[in-house]
DNA sequence: TTTTATTTGAAATTTAATTTCATAATTTGG
DNA sequence: CCAAATTATGAAATTAAATTTCAAATAAAA
């Protein structure tokens, strides 16, 4: 336990009521405090600003500013940046929401290595390196990942297809072969359209790679390769925001891996495109 | 070597004279700076206080206060934080790349609060809450953020437009008014097409909100509101991957803030759409 | 019950950070 | 080489944050 926080904890009962409130708030959300003003902290802990200043003196630190500096050191040393989703309890002022989003997105990405199976990932890279056509499909929040993947893999020379229109893809699937890959992107793994296209693609001999929550959903069961995203705390305000981050992280990783495995051949073409971008930018 | 100090060191020759003086002083006495005020530091390094503030922005941190906090973290970590470096040094096997991506994405999101200016963010929310039409434009890696924003804000009832086609948007801009907002999304802030559309939109009276790196780019200068993303370590293998994550994080936060500020009115419609999704999913 | 000590927050003050703006220095285009 | 435009800079003004003062409320002691 870090020294400053434990000092606060130990002195908690010796402090006056207002000061104890402050101490309790700090112990709950230490990582938020360094960015706060006295006004913020006074609002959040329900006391006056003057009490904040007195609190600092009570626990032996001369000013609120010094206190914040000490706290940062403490937090940094113990590596406890934004540990709890207590941050979700914050009020919903715009900037609070920004911090909340930052936190959940970071946490979701952090949780990804735990849900993604290494062997499945390597299998996906292996399959992709011999694939010709790729198709990406995701609806709602997952459509962003599909579109992002579409761009990335097109840059690597694959013949890619994606579309929001179910029927459009339906008519393209018959052209898929054993060398093709169908990416089914769905957080829940239950979306009807995604499931139907997956089954159809599979019936054409294509490999179905699912990017879906690690959860025994229909899509999870039916996919050939499962790249699992973590199940993140569902907060109605946050919705599917963090899960899109994890989908993108997986896409990014696949992209880089293929980029790397294709080696020189791609790099040459990639630089051609890149130089053109720079030239056009003037 | 710690990342913030080395970042200062690396950028030293790119800075102007006054800013270089500040950088040099900080590199000499990093441990003193967190307890200093702008006045102290300006006296010690022989420049004006304004230059201090500008210096912070130049090296990619939104305010002097944030800078001091980052510096404390940095100093505290020095010598004990080899893990970051280790990860980036890893070989390029697929799973190594996955870890690398996870790491850089996480780090980028973590760095966002330091680059995003709270006031600018709140200004953006304010403007958006009274806006009618929104237009989003980003090319290359930034197009994902544009498309994602397009979906999100459409769900909130805005009249949204986005397209990859420069000329398509060109023909839509004359319909923008003082109540409209043009989102210019560009990491570098130099992309010609983005700049031209921004200027055109501005000439129509629309507010230009830029989502761009905290860097003195043309877009940074011309925008009405600047939502700055952190300048992340450029690794040629990683490219713009992490910066897209920070763009999305900002979009997410704006979306949630508006969602929240619009309150009941939207929630009702939102649930209608959502229930329909669930029903169709069977 | 009165007096005294303690706790507290509102308002005033002081201090710090940031922005604005005029000027000086530099670069660019003719 | 000069004029125009751009960029860099600090002084002053503004805005925001931290701290102090002080009066009222509460609790403890006489």
For chain B, domains (ranges, CATH) are 3-77 (1.10.10.10), 83-114 (no CATH), 118-275 (3.40.50.10490)
Helices (H), chain A: 3-11, 17-28, 38-45, 49-58, 64-78, 94-115, 118-129, 143-155, 166-172, 192-203, 218-222, 241-262, 264-281
Count CB neighbours of B234 within 10 A. 10
- Most A-contacting residue of B66, B98, B117, B273 (CB-CB within 10 A), to test interface: B98
- Most A-contacting residue of B191, B219, B252, B267 (CB-CB within 10 A), to test interface: B252
Going by pLDDT thresholds of 50, 70 and 90, the confidence category of residue A82 is very low
Strand D proximal residues, B:18-37, Cβ < 7 Å = 18-19
> Max Cα separation, chain A?
75
CB-nearest to A94 from B112, B121, B238 is B121
pLDDT value, residue B191 = 86
Angle of helix B49-58 versus helix B64-77 axis, rounded to 10: 60
For tokens 């072969």, what's the residue? A177
Helices (H), chain B: 3-11, 17-28, 38-45, 49-58, 64-77, 83-89, 94-115, 118-129, 143-155, 166-172, 192-203, 218-222, 241-262, 264-281
Going by pLDDT thresholds of 50, 70 and 90, the confidence category of residue A53 is confident
Judged by average pLDDT, the poorest of A50-59, A173-182, B168-177 is A50-59
Q: Rounded to an integer, what distance in angstroms lies between the CA atom of residue B241 and that of residue B178?
A: 34
Q: Are B243 and B232 contacting, i.e. CB atoms less than 8 angstroms apart?
A: yes
pLDDT value, residue B78 = 63
Q: Rounded to an integer, what distance in angstroms lies between the CA atom of residue A107 and that of residue B69?
A: 21
pLDDT at residue A231 is higher than 90:
no
Of A88 and B70, more confident? B70
Torsion of CA A32, A36, A40, A46, to 10 degrees: 50
Distance A19 CA to C8 C1' (A): 10
pLDDT value, residue A1 = 44
Judged by average pLDDT, the poorest of A14-18, A89-93, A170-174, A180-184 is A89-93
Q: Which mean pLDDT values do the consecutive 10-residue runs of chain B (282 residues) have?
A: 74 83 86 85 87 86 87 72 49 74 86 87 91 95 94 93 95 95 92 90 92 86 89 71 92 89 68 68 52
The CA distance from A45 to the nearest CA of chain B, in Å, is 21
pLDDT value, residue B81 = 40
Distance A152 CA to C18 C1' (A): 42
Strand D proximal residues, B:86-125, Cβ < 7 Å = 119
Cβ <8 Å between B98 and A116: yes
Proximity of residue A16 CB to strand D below 7 A:
no
Please list, in sequence order, all residues whose beta carbon lies within 8 angstroms of the beta carbon of residue B260, skipping any fewer than 6 positions away.
A92, A97, A237
pLDDT value, residue B233 = 64
Nucleotides of C under 7 A from a protein CB: 6-11, 15-21
Q: Pull the structure tokens for residue A40.
A: 């913020």
Of B11 and A132, more confident? A132
The arithmetic mean of pLDDT across residues A230-235, rounded, is 70
End-to-end alpha-carbon separation of chain B, Å? 55
Proximity of residue B43 CB to strand C below 7 A:
no
The CA distance from A150 to the nearest CA of chain B, in Å, is 10
Please give the residue of chain A at the shortest CA–CA distance from B128.
A94
Cβ <8 Å between B77 and A72: no
pLDDT at residue A12 is higher than 60:
yes
Proximity of residue A48 CB to strand C below 7 A:
yes
Find residues 192-251 of chain A whose CB sits inside 8 Å of chain B: 192, 237-238, 241, 244-245, 248-250
Nucleotides of D under 7 A from a protein CB: 7-12, 16-22
């Amino acid at each position: 336990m870090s020294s400053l926080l434990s000092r606060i904890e130990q002195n908690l009962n010796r402090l006056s009521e207002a000061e104890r409130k402050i101490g309790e708030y700090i112990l709950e959300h230490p990582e938020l405090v360094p960015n706060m003003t006295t006004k913020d902290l006074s609002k959040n802990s329900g006391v006056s600003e003057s009490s904040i200043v007195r609190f600092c003196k009570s626990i032996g630190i001369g000013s609120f500013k010094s206190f914040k500096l000490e706290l940062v050191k403490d937090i940094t040393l113990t590596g406890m940046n934004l540990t709890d989703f207590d941050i979700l309890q914050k009020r919903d002022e715009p900037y609070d929401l920004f911090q909340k989003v930052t936190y959940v997105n970071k946490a979701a990405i952090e949780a990804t290595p735990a849900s993604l199976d290494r062997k499945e990932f390597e299998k996906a890279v292996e399959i992709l390196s011999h694939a010709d056509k790729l198709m990406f499909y995701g609806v709602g929040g997952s459509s962003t990942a599909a579109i992002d993947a579409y761009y990335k893999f097109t840059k690597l020379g694959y013949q890619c297809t994606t579309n929001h229109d179910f029927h459009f893809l339906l008519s393209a699937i018959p052209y898929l072969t054993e060398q093709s890959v169908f990416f089914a992107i769905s957080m829940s793994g239950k979306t009807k359209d995604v499931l139907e296209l997956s089954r159809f693609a599979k019936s054409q001999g294509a490999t179905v790679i699912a990017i879906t929550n690690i959860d025994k959903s229909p899509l999870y069961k039916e996919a050939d390769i499962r790249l699992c995203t973590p199940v993140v705390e569902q907060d109605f305000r946050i919705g599917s925001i963090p899960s899109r981050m994890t989908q993108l992280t997986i896409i990014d990783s696949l992209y880089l891996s293929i980029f790397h495995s294709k080696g020189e051949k791609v790099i040459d073409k990639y630089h051609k495109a890149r130089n053109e971008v720079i030239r056009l930018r003037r």
